[in-house]
Amino acid sequence: MKISATFTLLSIFILPLCSTPAFSQSTSKSKIEEAYRQFEKDPALKNGTVSLTVLNANTGEPIFQQNQQVGLATASTMKIITAATAFDILGKDFKFKTNLYYTGSIQAGGVLHGDIIIEGSGDPTLGSNRYPESQEEQLLNKWIYTIQSAGIKEIQGRIIGDDSRYGGYQVPGGWIWSDIGNYYGAGVSSLNWRENAVGVVFNPNSTIGKPATIEKLTADLSYLKIVNEVSTGKNGSGDNVYAYSGPYASNIYIRGTYGLDLKKTIEISVPDPAYDVAFQLSKALSHVGIKTAEPPSNGKAIASTNIAKQLLDTHESPDLANIIYWFNQKSINLYGEALVKAIAYQTAQKTETNEGTSLIQKYWENKLQISSSELNNQDGSGLSPQNRVTTAAMAKIMQYAQSQSWFPEFYKSLPEYNNMKMKSGTINGALGYTGIHQNSSGEKFTFALLINNYSGSSSAMRKRMFTLLDVLK
């Protein structure tokens, strides 16, 4: 009787505890399934495609999957894959280095018979105002002090922005013309500067349809011709301004409308960042009395990679964890492209974007058996409309991330939407969210939701997506 009573008593307490996870997962699955079925009935999805993968974050087991093997445009949710790859390959403490050199010799009276060279290694934060130690004014002052300390008072040469490591300034293949002239479509080189962008401050006309004049730029681009064709839009019309240029362009065309009541600095891309940093340093040196005999130049001015150089200074970027924080928080496309190239260069001495994306595909194929058709990435940021990735692959990589030593930094980088930690993505006709969430019952999920070719406004569709994801709370 005692044995039987003991067994019965233990059964009361043990059996429900053992069955809780299975019951919980079953309950979650039915709730998600019901919410998904309601969601897919939305008329805005009549001609669209929806894919959702939800995994048990503790076990990796699928809780719900629909169209999980269909490759879809990712928009900025691609950044999750780039960030995880960079953390795993480069390490969270990885830093870019930018070297300041001089060539030739310093003669009597402090005359440098040679050039000053700023040699980049791909740092996307150089000159960025997001980091105190990397801000434009801070760096220029540091370099001026270093040059002065070397005894240089005159330069019988020029300032060269050396962007030769990656073959100059490029944009990934597949990016569209209406994007690359704007800050979010800025290209990448081994010498990026001020996030390869500049701000334009407009002064709208009091009459709708009349020209909105440019009041100022946030940096001196007097070496470029800016053609302003922007007109004033009505109150509430917002920012419909687009810049048109490309790598090494000498003209920038700015078109569209700027709302009468808008108070916003418009960010456009700079066509040659390596030249721009050389120009800004040359100008700053001139202000302190150090003249250069020749005009500034980019890396094309360097005839030989074997030229003798004397090191003046090495600037280190913030560590990778800090870079990825802003990469995901503010969805900075440039950072993604810089990381793809860094991965390619550090692992295989490759420099092309397509070589980097191919290496990322092979990495996850070896690591998690994700095939290249599941992870068909054309860039590192998600700006290319040609990206095609499955939610199964995306959720699987998110699942992998949480078991790695760098996960706390990765998790911190995720923005918060709808009271959930997840990365968003928005591009024409595509919306997405991918993240990790623990609900009030203690259940933990990794998930990816992608929608392509929906109709109606993006804001309305986001609200519907949040309602669907609310079932995970």
Q: What is the CATH number of the domain that holds 425?
A: 3.40.710.10
Tell me, yes or no, whether 395 and 253 share the same domain.
no
Percent of the chain with pLDDT over 90: 92
User: Does residue 8 lie within any of the structural domains?
Assistant: no
Tell me, yes or no, whether 46 and 85 share the same domain.
yes
Tell me, yes or no, whether 375 and 253 share the same domain.
no
User: Does residue 358 lie within any of the structural domains?
Assistant: yes
Tell me, yes or no, whether 41 and 150 share the same domain.
no
User: Does residue 130 lie within any of the structural domains?
Assistant: yes
Tell me, yes or no, whether 31 and 159 share the same domain.
no
Q: What is the pLDDT of residues 183-233, one digit of tens each?
A: 999 999 999 999 999 999 999 999 999 999 999 999 999 999 999 999 999
pLDDT number for residue 306: 76
Q: Select the more confidently predicted residue: 192 or 304.
A: 192
- Domain count along the chain: 2
pLDDT number for residue 305: 66
Question: pTM for this one?
Answer: 0.93
Dist CA 22 CA 104 (whole Å)? 73
Tell me, yes or no, whether 122 and 72 share the same domain.
no
With 0-12 / 13-18 / 19 or more C-beta atoms within 10 angstroms meaning exposed / middle / buried, residue 215 is exposed
CA atoms within 13 A on the CB side of 210: 8
Chain length of the chain:
473
pLDDT number for residue 10: 34
Range with lowest mean pLDDT among 8-12, 355-359, 425-429: 8-12
Tell me, yes or no, whether 306 and 336 share the same domain.
no
Tell me, yes or no, whether 256 and 333 share the same domain.
no
Q: What is the CATH number of the domain that holds 238?
A: 3.50.80.20
Find out whether 450 and 74 touch, Cβ atoms under 8 Å: yes
Average pLDDT of the segment spanning 13-23: 38
Of 316, 333, 355, the last residue of a domain is 316
User: Does residue 12 lie within any of the structural domains?
Assistant: no
User: Does residue 462 lie within any of the structural domains?
Assistant: yes
Tell me, yes or no, whether 273 and 351 share the same domain.
no
Q: Which two tokens stand for residue 280?
A: 């800004």
Tell me, yes or no, whether 295 and 422 share the same domain.
no
Q: What is the pLDDT of residues 364-414, one digit of tens each?
A: 999 999 999 999 999 999 999 999 999 999 999 999 999 999 999 999 999
User: Does residue 2 lie within any of the structural domains?
Assistant: no
- Other Cβ atoms closer than 10 A to 16: 10
The Cα-based distances of 238 to 205, 227, 266 in angstroms read 14, 21, 11
Write the DSSP string, 320-383: HHHHHHHHHHTT-HHHHHHHHHHHHHHHHS---HHHHHHHHHHHHHHHH---TTTEE-SSSSS-
Q: What is the pLDDT of residues 88-98, one digit of tens each?
A: 999 999 999 99
Residue-range definition of the domain harbouring residue 169: 97-316
Distance from the first to the final alpha carbon of the chain: 46
Percent of the chain with pLDDT over 70: 94
Of 295, 316, 337, the last residue of a domain is 316
Find out whether 203 and 215 touch, Cβ atoms under 8 Å: yes
Average pLDDT of the segment spanning 294-309: 87
User: Does residue 6 lie within any of the structural domains?
Assistant: no
Of 293, 316, 339, the last residue of a domain is 316
Taking only Cα atoms into account, the Rg of the chain, rounded to an integer number of angstroms, comes to 26
Tell me, yes or no, whether 172 and 252 share the same domain.
yes
Q: What is the pLDDT of residues 262-299, one digit of tens each?
A: 999 999 999 999 999 999 999 999 999 999 999 999 99
Average pLDDT of the segment spanning 176-185: 97
| Residue whose structure tokens are 């095609």 | 388
With 0-12 / 13-18 / 19 or more C-beta atoms within 10 angstroms meaning exposed / middle / buried, residue 4 is exposed
Tell me, yes or no, whether 41 and 127 share the same domain.
no
pLDDT at 20 over 70: no
User: Does residue 280 lie within any of the structural domains?
Assistant: yes
